[in-house]
Chains A and B, each alone.
Chain A
Amino acid sequence: MSGFSSVYLDTRLTVLARRLFSFEQLIDFIELDLERILAQVREHTGYDYTVDNSNPRLIEGQLTNHALDEFRILIRPFSGSERRFLQFAIRWFELVNLKVLIRGKFNAIDSDLIEEQLIDLRRFADLPIKQLLETDDPYEMLRLLETTVYGGIVRPARRMYEEHGNDLFLLDATIDRSFFIDLHYHARFLDSEDAENVGRVLGGLLDRFNLLWLLRYRFSYGLSPARSFYLLTKTGNRLHSAQLLRLARLDSVEEVVVALPREYRELLANVAGISDMETVMEYYSLSLAARALHRLPNLLSRTFSYIVLREAEVRFLQALIKGKQLGFENDLIRQAVGARA
């Protein structure tokens, strides 16, 4: 990257980072009504969102597309393996649509209803949505999906479906696992400094998902230690392979928490229930990304961190706005966005 591009990207990242909401700001939004939330979002970010009660997905699409437009600008100065890594990372957004499609077809939901839940990703979309919606059964859709760029992600999901039927968590986890394996693979081609810096943020994400999946597979689904371990993704910052093998052998959530590395043990010591642990780990991994965005000099790592944080913010706002549109109680919204933990 040229010196000019570096300065440009650095400035862009600094400006965009200032527009991110803090966790406390987002939590405060829960107490506000929808109009005031959108007014504050407009004031803070400059983005104007349209509320259309006849099309609640419109605002979700707008939120995603604003984020994707920013990513497009941020990625532009990169080239080669760095660019490929970031472009792959952005696919995370399309996985939401992929999961909606798979769940919808497996549950025999009407195509129009599935379409309503999809987010319009415009030029970032790789999935042939129209053809996928026109499929008549899940297997036809899977065959079509296997011909797309998501073929490698879909094949394990098919196996999981054939083995365990239509279990939402297992399907989602299988798709996410494949995504992280591929993302980790792309990270291998970065130069050593980039790989190390990106690894800190990515490692936090991998730890979070591995721990959550391990707990769920072992104690919610009762899978064997070996199988639970096998279904985990690449190892992250603190939960290395040997450690995960050791954790997989344990017989209760409490034992696992006690056996965790000190940092995670302290985080989860007083947290009851896997769902709340998931939230705590999510915010911990986001705090790592925030630290990298604000403190690290490495531009690739900062860009990746921004993508991670912005994705979480978009997801939070989508859940919050949807809850407000549907007239949910604040407590229920708090639970949905994981603000209780």
Chain B
Amino acid sequence: MWSAPQEMRKIGLYMVDADAQQAALALARMAVLHPLEEPGGEALPENPAAPYHEVYHDLNSRFGKISGFIRKPLEAPAESTRLVTLDRLQELDQQLKALWAQISALEEQIRRQNERIAAIRQLANSLQKFTSLDLDLGRLRRQGRFLRIAVGTIPAENFNQLRSALSLTKFLIKTFYSSEGINHVVLFGPSQHREEVQDLLQSADFRGLVVPEEFTGSPTQLQADLDLRSREAEAHLRNLQQELYDLIDANMATLQSARDALLLAQPYASLGTVLKGRGGLVYLQGWVPAQREDEIRQQLVGHLEYPFQLEFSKPGQQEFDRVPSLLKKSRLLRPFQGLVKNFGMPGYREVDPSGLFALSYLLMFGMMFGDIGHGAVIALASLLFVRSYPGVTIVGVLAGMSSLFFGFVYGSLFGYEHVVPALWMSPMHDPVQVLLLAVFWGAGFIVIANLLAIRNFYAAGQFEQAYFSGKGLAGLLFYLAAFYAAYQVAANGRFGWLEALVMAAPMTVIVGFQWRRSSGGLVERILVVFIEGLEHVISNVSGTLSFLRVAAFSLNHIALAAAVFAIAGMLGSFGHGVTVVLGNIFIIVLEGAIVAIQCLRLEYYEGFSRFFNGKGRAFEPLKFET
């Protein structure tokens, strides 16, 4: 039902430098080592893997940039024991650096070519607007001795500043068309300022219309010329792109070698800051699952060439915060473990609540959304995601089956309450009983959460917390006493000295414990202890009442179905059918989603927050990146 993360051992491996890469490969193949970075101090001042890490990082970065251009799939490396030397990495890095320089240059040419094509298109667009201008285009080519005319485009945001600046050169500029942030302009002025204006126009990102030598004055001819230039520019762009792909294809062998080398070098490179050493001796430490001690020893004996020293030690209590948590693997529980990790990672000595979470989540979902038809639809629809999101399928099928089971319990089929006989009863028949049941369910849930909290405190060596705190044994006893007292008041109308005593005793322990832990002035301590005590009482009451929603949603489910049938009843037979179908879809999608979220909320806030701080570190083993 629940378990703690796997037992771990601290590993310390002393070896000679020459064996370090082989050791990294062996450990990565087993995926058993969570490396531990600790300062080596004066005894181990060197980081022998640092240069390797640096070159690996450069090569990886370059390969990452180039890989976006690779069109053919790369093959997986045939072996995982081959060592990649630092020299080999450097050699590949230089090759990729040279290749990237060529690619980058081509990319830059492609960028400029794209800009050129955009400019030609803008000019072609300009030309189409010339019909509204009374201007002889031939003048653009025949620049006179005294008058210079230019037509072109500039970004709209540059226009006003350019117009003002041009006034200093006695040039005039006029926009004859404006679109998409581009002004299509004509400008003219004295030829003597031509060079000055040329510099200015360049700063303003002006793209001028060039009139060919053979131009006779017809805009059609100019249009044809622009079309030709556009086609040539596009052809050139395609050539550049092809050149780029050819360059990649011609270097596929190098890229394949680089990718293989990166895969094989990654484990050792990732130890760049972890591996400590001195004078040819290196030290590696980390955490490994206890059950794999023997396998690790055998693999290292099999693969390391020189003698080595291997130590395994049990983590001390003071190290628990730093030990990574490796949750037990289970295909069925994996999606639920994902939801648990959403809240936080269980600490090394904490309970992994995934099993309990899965069971209670599914039960609550079924209770709140009990319907044979709706459950079957959810289960079947979840199968659609079996390939893309297997986790969704597992949760969906199980939730659907739970819903289906409670559908039989309630005798509900697509909202019809009288088609299938109820194994128990429909929630509508006795809502008070259903609400009471939900309160008992909540109380049971909170008691279990409290027991888990006690267990977690105990496992972490926090014995005082386990016995005397509000989340510990005293808190549990207070909760049970309060529940008993509430039951006596509700059932017998009695709150006597026994009830007062059983509640006061554990509360006194809780308050005393808080008093001991509090600090500050007398008034401040009284205030803190009073508020914390009050908060403890309120959170227990509100937490228990929070579970009323389990009953509320089961009632709501029937009420929604009744509303659908009421609307359908007002329509003809076709309308009735359509309304019932659409209404059921609405209930499955909307209410199903709400119930799923409400269940998660109950788990997180009324369950996890009581026993689980979620500050654990995930076990992240050294392994081959694929």
- A residues lining the B interface (CB < 8 Å): 134, 136-137, 139-140, 143, 159, 163, 181, 223-227, 229-232, 241, 245, 248-249
From A140, A163, A245, contact of B167 by CB (8 A): A245
Which B residues are in CB contact (< 8 Å) with A159? 202-203, 205
Contact A227 B97 (CB under 8 A): no
Contact B100 A136 (CB under 8 A): yes
A134 to B162: give the CA distance in the assembly, Å.
37
CB distance from B192 to the nearest CB of A (A): 13
Contact A136 B200 (CB under 8 A): no
Which A residues are in CB contact (< 8 Å) with B168? 224-226, 229, 245, 248-249
CB distance from B566 to the nearest CB of A (A): 44
From B61, B62, B104, B200, contact of A226 by CB (8 A): B200
Which B residues are in CB contact (< 8 Å) with A140? 104, 107-108
From A225, A230, A245, contact of B203 by CB (8 A): A230
A245 to B162: give the CA distance in the assembly, Å.
12
Contact B200 A227 (CB under 8 A): yes
Which B residues are in CB contact (< 8 Å) with A229? 161, 164-165, 168
Is B546 engaged at the interface, CB distance under 8 Å to the other chain?
no
A230 to B158: give the CA distance in the assembly, Å.
9
From A136, A224, A248, contact of B199 by CB (8 A): A224
Can you report 30 residue pairs joining A to B where beta carbons are below 8 Å apart?
Answer: A134-B61, A136-B100, A137-B101, A137-B104, A139-B108, A140-B107, A140-B108, A143-B107, A159-B203, A159-B205, A163-B203, A224-B168, A224-B169, A224-B196, A224-B199, A226-B168, A226-B196, A226-B197, A226-B200, A227-B165, A227-B199, A227-B203, A229-B164, A230-B161, A230-B200, A230-B204, A231-B203, A245-B167, A245-B168, A248-B168
Which B residues are in CB contact (< 8 Å) with A248? 168
A248 to B200: give the CA distance in the assembly, Å.
14
With A140-B107, A159-B205 known as contacts, the answer to whether A230 contacts B165 (CB < 8 A) is: yes
Contact B101 A226 (CB under 8 A): no
Which A residues are in CB contact (< 8 Å) with B222? none
CB distance from A287 to the nearest CB of B (A): 28
Which DSSP category, helix, strand, loop or mixed, fits chain A's interface?
A: helix
From A181, A226, A241, contact of B166 by CB (8 A): A226
Pick the 6 closest A-B CB pairs, nearest first: A230-B165, A226-B168, A226-B165, A224-B196, A134-B61, A229-B165
Q: Which of B107, B111, B200 has the most CB of A within 10 A?
A: B200
**Smallest CB gap from B111: residue in A:** A143
CB distance from A329 to the nearest CB of B (A): 37
CB distance from B28 to the nearest CB of A (A): 25
Q: Beta-carbon contacts of B23-67 to A below 8 Å, as 1s and 0s? A: 000000000000000000000000000000000000001100100
- B residues lining the A interface (CB < 8 Å): 61-62, 65, 97, 100-101, 104, 107-108, 111, 157, 161-162, 164-169, 196-197, 199-200, 202-205
Which B residues are in CB contact (< 8 Å) with A224? 168-169, 196, 199-200
Contact B164 A245 (CB under 8 A): yes
Contact B97 A241 (CB under 8 A): no
**Smallest CB gap from A134: residue in B:** B61
Contact B107 A230 (CB under 8 A): no
A206 to B108: give the CA distance in the assembly, Å.
35
CB distance from B606 to the nearest CB of A (A): 32
Which B residues are in CB contact (< 8 Å) with A249? 168
CB distance from B112 to the nearest CB of A (A): 10
A137 to B62: give the CA distance in the assembly, Å.
12
Which B residues are in CB contact (< 8 Å) with A134? 61, 65
Q: Which of B100, B107, B162, B168 has the most CB of A within 10 A?
A: B168
CB distance from A257 to the nearest CB of B (A): 20
Which A residues are in CB contact (< 8 Å) with B205? 159
CB distance from A21 to the nearest CB of B (A): 36
Contact B104 A136 (CB under 8 A): yes
**Smallest CB gap from B199: residue in A:** A227
Which A residues are in CB contact (< 8 Å) with B167? 245
Which A residues are in CB contact (< 8 Å) with B169? 224, 226
CB distance from A137 to the nearest CB of B (A): 6
Contact A241 B196 (CB under 8 A): no
Contact A163 B202 (CB under 8 A): yes
| New A-B contacts (9) at CB < 8 Å, excluding given A139-B104, A231-B203 | A137-B101, A159-B205, A163-B202, A224-B169, A224-B196, A229-B168, A230-B164, A230-B165, A241-B164
Q: Which of A181, A226, A232 has the most CB of B within 10 A?
A: A226
Which A residues are in CB contact (< 8 Å) with B65? 134
Contact A136 B101 (CB under 8 A): yes
CB distance from A142 to the nearest CB of B (A): 9
CB distance from A179 to the nearest CB of B (A): 14
**Smallest CB gap from A130: residue in B:** B61
A140 to B199: give the CA distance in the assembly, Å.
26
Which B residues are in CB contact (< 8 Å) with A245? 164, 167-168
A226 to B189: give the CA distance in the assembly, Å.
14
Which A residues are in CB contact (< 8 Å) with B204? 230
A249 to B162: give the CA distance in the assembly, Å.
16
**Smallest CB gap from A234: residue in B:** B161
Which A residues are in CB contact (< 8 Å) with B97? 136
Which B residues are in CB contact (< 8 Å) with A223? 199
A268 to B203: give the CA distance in the assembly, Å.
30
A224 to B199: give the CA distance in the assembly, Å.
9
Q: Which of A140, A181, A230, A248 has the most CB of B within 10 A?
A: A230
From B62, B108, B196, B202, contact of A143 by CB (8 A): B108
CB distance from A242 to the nearest CB of B (A): 9
Which B residues are in CB contact (< 8 Å) with A230? 161-162, 164-165, 200, 203-204
Q: Which of B101, B166, B199 has the most CB of A within 10 A?
A: B199
